[in-house]
Amino acid sequence: MKMILETLILATFSLLFAGYAMFIYPFEKLNEKMSSEVREKKLKYTPTIS
């Protein structure tokens, strides 16, 4: 019984992690790239070659 419960918990967390990695994380990265605030900070802190 304990083994089944442990396997069930492990499978649940594995599915949650896989779901996050496949569906939520890419949209977060896409929003970060499209964000004007992030773009401004990148321009501000990018070293200039002179």
State residue 10's pLDDT score: 98
State residue 3's pLDDT score: 97
State residue 44's pLDDT score: 77
Q: Determine the structural domain holding residue 27 and report its residue range.
A: 2-45
Q: What is the pTM of this model?
A: 0.55
Is residue 50 a part of any domain in this protein? no
Is residue 17 a part of any domain in this protein? yes
Neighbouring residues of 4: CB distance < 8 A, sequence distance ≥ 6:
none
Distance between CA atoms of 47 and 43, rounded to whole angstroms?
A: 9
Nearest CA to 29 out of 21, 40, 19, 41 is that of 21
Question: What is the number of structural domains in the chain?
Answer: 1
Give residue 17's pLDDT band: very low, low, confident or very high (50, 70, 90). Answer: very high
Is residue 15 a part of any domain in this protein? yes
- pLDDT over 80 at 31, yes or no: yes
